[in-house]
């Protein structure tokens, strides 16, 4: 007989279409302390080249099934202690693969409060319930329930009606605790149920953001995630009522078909009334709650997937590059905070300018900007896209127009910058700077390298989520942390310039070790060799193994330290260089020779062809940034505010958020427009993420403008 662990592995293999060997090896690596980014990149031979998505799916499913296995053990022991564990029940429990299914099987044996059925048993009415069961057979032609019930009258049971009611309570509880019935009813609600909502009378037409749900209905099986989350939020805020409608007669017919065998009218009527009571009193509420909970978990998962995809696109946005940058956090009354950031991301100087007030102040602001550009040889100007953003953008355009080599001017999404500027991270980094200046620095660094700066901000503050406050917060944090970890390790980290926050997300490094790296770097200067990491306190051999390949050293002692080649593979690269008669320092320039390499001759027990292929790809473009080429949108100078927009206009914008129902676009008017899913392409689109992503520059056409509601409808479809 197979043990529970083998059964779990076999089940996962079937579900994820993997070989058991792949799963076993991956789980062994996890048990040894390996991270998913490390396993995906450097242990391809062990896992059959499983990618990060497969590894995370494996990890999540394994965690679920091991929790289920442990729960089964507790339940089996509890039922055995009651002396009620049959072989049939044990087999059903061991075969269950869903927590709901398992808890349904345990329900009749679970310790419970004093129910009506329990009270009836205390009164000695269980034999009466069993007697009525005996009457419930097709071969019984006559049966007097009253005569049978009269046998059980006592001090506690004074009437026949009371006796029959007690017996009915016992039988109703048995029906309600039947796992097969509960599963069938839940599935019926899933397939045939309808969510119905109505706005409460206290909220007249046009006074609530939930207006579309005033008289709304959607099939349970077909409802979109964002619609369900909106309904649940509206119910929580007491703006609408939400019901799950279904054909109760169908369920009662089902229960009768399963339970009633008698032909005698009295027994049939007794059972019909008992089943109606069982459903209405004991099954209905919990079944509805279970279905809503299951659909809510599904909607959470779908929304979190969208959040993950948006966050990934934002984190992996193309960097403008580490160039001298002038960052501007725009403002009207309080002025624009301008910060100068060096080509290494270091803060150099700040000034407050007032370009949106009197003419004299505007001229002084222009002189200040020109002076800073000349003094620091500014190549990039980052302008926050919040209040006064477009006006500041127009001002900067005026200033740089007459320059011989004008810097590139870019509007930067400043979502979360104010959160960062008040955070402990920002205070630690710039204790003497004003909040708004910290915000300007963050905006500038976002342009230089979005990933390095955005890791300092809680992903939930970046503004790319969908109903992010309504979903499972524990799951959301887990998935967003995984996304940040994946992105950081995908790009790689410069060991000598990375912040503590960036290092914390590197495979194998904890916050403590990341801090120790910064301290070591400050005390000893720049790292010259990856192996010097082993001198960092608390960074042992395991952490080095997990982290080294993702940490890069530019201009170090070993040219391979600037690549994604892991130190454990250096000897192979050195052998390839010797065989090609090329110095190690020049191997990346020997592209033609690298193409002649026969991988098979370098295969060892530890390094197979998948890793060797990765090594050769890396040597062809050592240390290459995998992010896309930098592009930016050019907003129309003719459009500064919503009232400037006209239906039919074609303009450029940047995707700021992708949801299940469409995508939001920054078009430079302080209010994002919406491209509904039906307007994303000339063909049917089931998932907006297939068409657009956060940060993408798009050309859109204005369909509708509602200035009072601040709603802008856009389209990417061809004009007809």
Give the per-residue pLDDT at 1. Answer: 55
Which range among 73-87, 178-192, 590-604 shows the weakest confidence by mean pLDDT? Answer: 590-604
pLDDT per position as a tens digit, 192-208? 999 999 999 999 988 88
CB proximity list for 240: less than 8 A, separation 6 or greater: 197, 198, 199, 200, 210, 213, 214, 231, 234
CB distance 651 to 667 below 8 Å: yes
Give the per-residue pLDDT at 188. Answer: 98
Give the per-residue pLDDT at 623. Answer: 79
Give the per-residue pLDDT at 141. Answer: 81
Q: Identify any residues that bridge with 665 across adjacent strands, giving them in sequence order.
A: 655, 673
Q: Is the pLDDT of residue 719 over 80?
A: no
Residue 18 CB neighbours (<10 A): 19
> What value does the mean pLDDT take over residues 57-83?
97
pLDDT per position as a tens digit, 55-65? 999 999 999 99
Q: Where are the beta strands (DSSP E) in 252-346?
A: 325-329, 336-341
Q: Is the pLDDT of residue 678 over 90?
A: yes
Backbone angles phi, psi at 348, to 5 degrees: -115, -45
- In angstroms, the Cα distances linking 687 to 97, 476, 691 are 30, 20, 8
Q: Where are the beta strands (DSSP E) in 570-687?
A: 650-659, 662-666, 673-676
Going by C-alpha positions, the residue among 111, 155, 135, 141 that lies closest to residue 274 is 135
> What value does the mean pLDDT take over residues 522-538?
97
> What value does the mean pLDDT take over residues 366-380?
97
**Where does the pLDDT of residue 685 fall: very low under 50, low under 70, confident under 90, or very high at 90 and above?**
very high
Residue that is written with structure tokens 């080509």 in the block: 343
> What value does the mean pLDDT take over residues 485-502?
96
pLDDT per position as a tens digit, 622-653? 878 898 888 888 887 778 888 888 999 999 99
How many whole angstroms from its chain centre is CA 479?
Answer: 5
Q: How many residues does the chain have?
A: 720
**Where does the pLDDT of residue 563 fall: very low under 50, low under 70, confident under 90, or very high at 90 and above?**
very high
Residue that is written with structure tokens 């069961």 in the block: 133
Q: Is the pLDDT of residue 346 over 70?
A: yes
Give the per-residue pLDDT at 415. Answer: 84
Give the per-residue pLDDT at 588. Answer: 84
Going by C-alpha positions, the residue among 126, 132, 159 that lies closest to residue 145 is 132
Coil vs helix vs strand at 338:
strand
Average pLDDT, the chain: 94
Q: Is the pLDDT of residue 36 over 80?
A: yes
Give the per-residue pLDDT at 469. Answer: 87
pLDDT per position as a tens digit, 398-446? 999 989 899 999 999 888 888 899 999 999 999 999 888 999 999 999 9
**Where does the pLDDT of residue 381 fall: very low under 50, low under 70, confident under 90, or very high at 90 and above?**
very high
**Where does the pLDDT of residue 720 fall: very low under 50, low under 70, confident under 90, or very high at 90 and above?**
low
CB distance 275 to 230 below 8 Å: no
| Cα torsion angle, 64, 66, 67, 71, sign | positive
pLDDT per position as a tens digit, 262-301? 999 999 999 999 999 999 999 999 999 999 999 999 999 9
Residue that is written with structure tokens 């910064």 in the block: 518
CB distance 286 to 461 below 8 Å: no
Give the per-residue pLDDT at 552. Answer: 96
pLDDT per position as a tens digit, 223-256? 999 999 999 999 999 999 999 999 999 999 999 9
Q: CA-to-CA distance for 273 and 295, rounded, in angstroms?
A: 31
- In angstroms, the Cα distances linking 592 to 586, 588, 625 are 12, 10, 22
Q: Which domains occur in the chain, in start order?
A: 4-109 (1.10.10.650), 116-309 (1.10.3500.10), 325-448 (3.30.420.140), 642-715 (2.40.50.140)
Write down the pTM of the prediction.
Answer: 0.89
Question: What ranges in 533-676 are assigned the alpha helix state H?
Answer: 541-547, 570-580, 591-594, 609-620
Question: Would you state the structure tokens that stand for residue 425, as one six-digit string?
Answer: 């991270």
Backbone angles phi, psi at 507, to 5 degrees: -45, 125
């Amino acid at each position: 007989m197979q043990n529970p662990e083998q059964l779990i592995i076999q089940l996962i293999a079937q579900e994820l279409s993997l070989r058991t060997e792949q799963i076993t090896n991956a789980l062994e690596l996890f048990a040894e302390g390996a991270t998913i980014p490390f396993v995906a990149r450097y242990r391809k031979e062990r896992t059959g080249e499983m990618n990060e998505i497969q590894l995370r799916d494996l990890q999540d499913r394994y965690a679920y099934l091991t929790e289920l296995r442990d729960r089964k053990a507790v339940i089996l022991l509890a039922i055995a202690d009651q002396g009620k564990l049959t072989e049939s029940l044990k087999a059903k429990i061991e075969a269950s693969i869903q927590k709901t299914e398992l808890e349904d099987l345990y329900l009749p044996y679970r310790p419970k409060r004093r129910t009506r059925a329990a009270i009836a048993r205390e009164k000695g009415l269980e034999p009466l319930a069993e007697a009525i069961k005996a009457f419930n057979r097709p071969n019984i032609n006559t049966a007097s329930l009253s005569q049978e019930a009269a046998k059980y009258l006592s001090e506690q049971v004074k009437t026949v009606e009371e006796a029959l009611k007690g017996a009915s309570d016992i039988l109703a509880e048995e029906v309600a605790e039947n796992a097969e019935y509960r599963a069938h009813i839940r599935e019926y609600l899933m397939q045939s149920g309808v969510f119905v909502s109505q706005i409460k009378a206290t909220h007249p037409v046009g006074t609530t953001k939930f207006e579309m749900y005033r008289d709304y209905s959607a099939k349970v099986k077909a409802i979109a995630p964002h619609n369900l989350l909106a309904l649940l939020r509206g119910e929580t805020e007491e703006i609408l009522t939400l019901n799950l409608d279904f054909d109760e007669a169908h369920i009662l017919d089902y229960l009768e078909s399963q339970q009633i065998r008698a032909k005698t009218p009295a027994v049939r009527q007794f059972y019909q009334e008992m089943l109606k009571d069982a459903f209405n009193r004991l099954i209905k509420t919990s079944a509805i709650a279970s279905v809503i909970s299951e659909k809510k978990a599904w909607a959470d998962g779908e929304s979190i997937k969208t959040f993950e995809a948006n966050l990934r696109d934002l984190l992996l946005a193309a960097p403008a590059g580490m160039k001298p940058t002038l960052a501007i956090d725009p403002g009207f009354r309080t002025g624009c905070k301008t910060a100068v950031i060096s080509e290494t991301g270091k803060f150099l100087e700040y000034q407050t300018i007032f370009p949106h007030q009197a003419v004299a102040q505007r001229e002084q602001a222009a002189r200040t900007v020109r002076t800073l550009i000349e003094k620091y040889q500014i190549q990039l100007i980052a302008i926050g896209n919040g209040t006064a953003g477009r006006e500041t953008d127009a001002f900067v355009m005026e200033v740089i127009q007459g320059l011989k080599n004008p810097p590139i001017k870019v509007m930067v999404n400043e979502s979360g910058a104010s959160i960062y500027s008040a955070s402990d991270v920002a205070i630690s980094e710039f204790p003497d700077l004003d909040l708004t200046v910290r915000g300007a620095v963050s905006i500038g660094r976002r342009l230089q390298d979005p990933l390095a700066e955005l890791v300092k901000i809680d992903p939930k503050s970046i503004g790319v989520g969908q109903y992010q406050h309504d979903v499972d917060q524990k799951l959301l944090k887990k998935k967003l942390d995984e996304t940040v970890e994946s992105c950081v390790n995908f790009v790689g980290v410069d060991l000598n310039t990375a912040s503590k926050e960036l290092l914390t997300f590197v495979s194998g490094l904890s916050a403590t070790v990341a801090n120790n790296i910064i301290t070591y770097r400050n005390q000893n200067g720049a790292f010259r060799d990856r192996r010097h990491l082993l001198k960092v306190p608390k960074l042992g051999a395991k952490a080095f193994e997990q982290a080294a390949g993702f940490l890069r050293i530019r201009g170090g002692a070993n040219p391979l330290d600037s690549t994604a080649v892991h130190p454990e593979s250096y000897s192979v690269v050195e052998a390839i260089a010797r065989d090609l008669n090329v110095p190690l320092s020049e191997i990346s320039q020997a592209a033609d020779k690298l193409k002649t390499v026969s991988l098979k001759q370098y295969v060892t027990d530890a390094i197979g062809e998948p890793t060797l292929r990765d090594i050769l790809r890396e040597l062809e473009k050592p240390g290459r940034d995998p992010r896309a080429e930098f592009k930016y949108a050019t907003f129309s100078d003719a459009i500064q505010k919503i009232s400037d927009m006209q239906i039919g206009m074609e303009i450029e914008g940047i995707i700021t958020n992708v949801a299940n129902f469409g995508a939001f676009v920054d078009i430079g008017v302080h209010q994002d427009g919406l491209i509904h899913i039906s307007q994303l392409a000339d063909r049917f689109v089931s998932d907006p993420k297939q068409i657009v992503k956060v940060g993408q520059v798009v050309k859109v056409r204005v369909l509708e403008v509602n200035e009072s509601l601040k709603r802008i409808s856009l389209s990417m479809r061809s004009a007809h």
